[in-house]
Amino acid sequence: MIRKIGVLTSGGDSPGMNAAIRAVTKCALGNGIEVMGIKDGYRGLIENKIVPFDKSSVSDILSRGGTILGSARLPEFKEDATVVKACEILRANEIDALVVIGGDGSYRGAKALTDKGINCIGLPGTIDNDISGTDLTIGFDTALNTVVECVDKLRDTSSSHHRCSLVEVMGNHCGDLALYSGISCGAEIVITSETGYDEEEILDQLRYLDNLGKNHAIIVISEKICDVEGLAKKVSASTGFSGRATVLGHIQRGGSPTPNDRVLASRMGEKAVDLLVSGIGGHCVGTLNNEIVSLPINEALAMPKTSRKGLYRLFERLV
């Protein structure tokens, strides 16, 4: 039986993490389980930055972006000695189990703690939508909305000036933010790790669009693929469009979560508590076909990411 659980957020923050913290806290308290908020991810855990949570700790946070707990990346958590230290601190605080909200690095930490006897559940909190075992991650929908709002604005000014806007979006190595926003905004070109990067092909396509009489072009590019400023210069030099690069950056990580993210985070938070109450650890929570599911973290980490071939084909048909 568990009496006290901890909750922490880890890795890059994402809108909706607060909604998940709130759901975990309220569902646990409702089950008569004490809740401890762990500040600043695994780093705060090993530094014993742990505070008791009650209902008031999570009031007025549902609509707020970021994470009230703070987050951090802690590469040392891969080392056994760090995990052992974290277990000691959890036991000293009489914390029986833990909910970890973060990306795949955070999942690995949760699995390592579970292997040492502290049941942990992982919730997928990242704007990248790059976690297997779930159709959606907490924060992706909000980030997508932010990107779409920005690209729609860029389209207005691009059409006034016969420009090509090259918009770099986040996603780590996952192309979902670029692909989904490309479809949502009617971009002319989407470039991701899945499409590959062929500079001459891109410039040819822009010349073709210019010859067709288009007055603007939008290219959405995943981060970590090319130097967008350099590409914009080449666009200006060798096509009829004048190229302008915009790196959206961390603006994509902020903002009030969309209702979809709030509901998703709340459902996942509830599931995490239910799993811990039934004695399950080392699992992560996901949504598949709009059902909330759970599976062992190891299985999720080993699963190949769902292919987006159909969506890339759709994008091509809509250009």
Residues making contact with ligand F6P (CB under 6 A): 12, 103, 126-128, 170-172, 223, 253
Gap between the Cα atoms of 217 and 210, Å rounded: 9
SS3 category, 119: strand
- Tokens 């975990």 -> residue: 24
9: Cβ contacts below 8 Å, ≥ 6 apart: 17, 21, 41, 67, 69, 70, 71, 101, 102, 125
Shortest Å, Cβ 314 to ligand F6P: 24
Gap between the Cα atoms of 180 and 152, Å rounded: 14
CB-wise, 37 or 171, nearer to ligand F6P?
171
SS3 category, 303: coil
CB-wise, 18 or 158, nearer to ligand F6P?
18
Shortest Å, Cβ 271 to ligand F6P: 22
CB-wise, 223 or 261, nearer to ligand F6P?
223
Contact (CB, 8 A) for 129 and 14 = no
Shortest Å, Cβ 247 to ligand F6P: 12
Q: Is 141 a catalytic residue?
A: no
In the sheet where 242-247 sits, what is the strand order? 189-191, 217-222, 163-169, 242-247
Contact (CB, 8 A) for 112 and 105 = no
CB-wise, 240 or 254, nearer to ligand F6P?
254
CB-wise, 6 or 105, nearer to ligand F6P?
105
Shortest Å, Cβ 53 to ligand F6P: 25
As given in the structure block, the two tokens for residue 217 are: 């072009």
Strand partners, 285: 294
Shortest Å, Cβ 170 to ligand F6P: 3
Contact (CB, 8 A) for 94 and 62 = no
CB-wise, 37 or 125, nearer to ligand F6P?
125
CB-wise, 13 or 96, nearer to ligand F6P?
13
Question: Which among 13, 96, 104, 128 is annotated as catalytic?
Answer: 128
Contact (CB, 8 A) for 179 and 239 = no
Gap between the Cα atoms of 32 and 259, Å rounded: 28
Helix axis angle, 80-92 to 104-115, nearest 10°: 70
Shortest Å, Cβ 110 to ligand F6P: 17
Shortest Å, Cβ 161 to ligand F6P: 29
As given in the structure block, the two tokens for residue 117 are: 């006897």
Tell me how many degrees the CA angle 79-85-90 measures, rounded to the nearest 5.
Answer: 130
Q: Kind of pairing, strands 34-38 and 50-53?
A: antiparallel
Q: Which residues are catalytic?
A: 128
